[in-house]
Amino acid sequence: MTSSMTSSTTTSTWTPTRHRLAETAMAALAPVCACVLALGGLAVWTATGNAGAPARIGVTDARLFLPSRGVPETAAFFRITNVGGSQDRLVRVTSSDVTEGISLSSHRMTAGGAAYRRPTESLPVPAGGTLDMSPHSSDVTVPAAAGWETGDLVPFTLHFEHSGRMKVLAVVVRPGSPT
């Protein structure tokens, strides 16, 4: 006994309907949102200086103002250059000649044209830029040590958030004298 079976195949073509288009759009929404969020995060990461080559710090023009008699503190200034692709921050300064009391300061102008110092936790060193400390911008406030004279070299260690420590010698100069 032979039995013959006929198989019927139906061919259907995909036709875009409103329901199918909505399902397709919903399926594509999650990957598109993930890509947009990732690109946004990368853009913010790059704009804040966290992408690219690491910070490469160099310090020049280190000077310390000769303290005036009777004044308990003076200021040290450094020219800090970052040739790297990421920003860094100067977070602390120490010295073997000064046991305590060294602080970072930024300078602000009042409406009347007077300047004042404000302690700060850190000073930014921009990627590909310079932190050029001066009496008009920022400094390192240092307790005055008895016995410093013009031309003396005072050791400082600058501590950076990403670049670690850097030892420098600052020359003692009279305020207002050419460096």
- In tens, the pLDDT along 33-51 reads 888 887 887 777 766 655 6
Model confidence at 178: pLDDT above 70: no
Decide which of 124 and 2 is more confident: 124
pLDDT for the residue 88: 95
Q: Beta strand pairing status for 138-143 and 73-82?
A: antiparallel
What is the three-class DSSP state of 151? coil
pTM for the complete prediction?
A: 0.68
What's the rounded mean pLDDT across residues 82-103? 93
Identity at 35, one-letter amino acid code: C
The pLDDT confidence band at residue 1, using thresholds 50, 70 and 90, is: low
Give burial (CB, 10 Å; 0-12/13-18/19+) of 165: exposed
Contact between 138 and 106 (Cβ < 8 Å): yes
What's the rounded mean pLDDT across residues 109-125? 82
pLDDT for the residue 155: 96
pLDDT tens, residue by residue, 131-152? 999 988 999 999 987 789 999 9
Mean pLDDT of the chain: 85
The pLDDT confidence band at residue 52, using thresholds 50, 70 and 90, is: low
